[in-house]
Amino acid sequence: MVQIITDSSTLHTVEEANALGVETLPLCVNIDNLEGRDLQMDMKDFYERIRKGQIPRSSQPPIGEVVDMFDKYKDSDIINITIADGLSGTYQSACAAKEMSENRERITVFNCRTLCGPHCVAIQYIEK
């Protein structure tokens, strides 16, 4: 079996991704004094803050969560598709997590070199 893991730059919520058989690790997001995980926070409030001129910042999922996700599927081949390395440290962090994982020889970390749309569409068409 092949397990696909991605980050929330696909714009799938965790629930939407799970319905596709994909695991999603949400990016960390901070805007002013609001901190949370991408697509799991009050998005209405988030967008209202942007309209008021606040600038959001994001960060890759914590490396420990990535390692835990990889180890959750230690008996499967894993394809981890990440947001472009020029936009985030998510790819580099996933590569480091791979080296820390019990099943590193079965993990492929793929830098999608893009953001959102194509990343999301590609996942919908990958057959397991």
Within a domain: 44: no
For residue 6, give the H/E element and its range. Answer: strand 2-7
Domain count, the chain: 1
Going by C-alpha positions, the residue among 128, 78, 82 that lies closest to residue 104 is 78
pTM: 0.81
Within a domain: 22: yes
Within a domain: 75: yes
**How far from the centroid of its chain's Cα atoms is residue 80's Cα?**
9
Within a domain: 74: yes
What is the DSSP code string of 20-85?
TTEEEEPPEEEETTEEEETTTS-HHHHHHHHHTT---EEEPPPHHHHHHHHHHTTTSEEEEEE--T
Q: 81: domain CATH number?
A: 3.40.50.10440
Within a domain: 107: yes
Per-residue pLDDT of the chain (128 residues; tens, 9 = 90+): 899 999 888 877 778 888 888 998 988 999 998 899 887 888 889 889 999 999 998 889 999 999 999 999 999 999 999 988 888 889 999 999 999 998 999 999 998 887 655 555 555 555 44
Domain of residue 119: give its range. Answer: 2-26+62-125
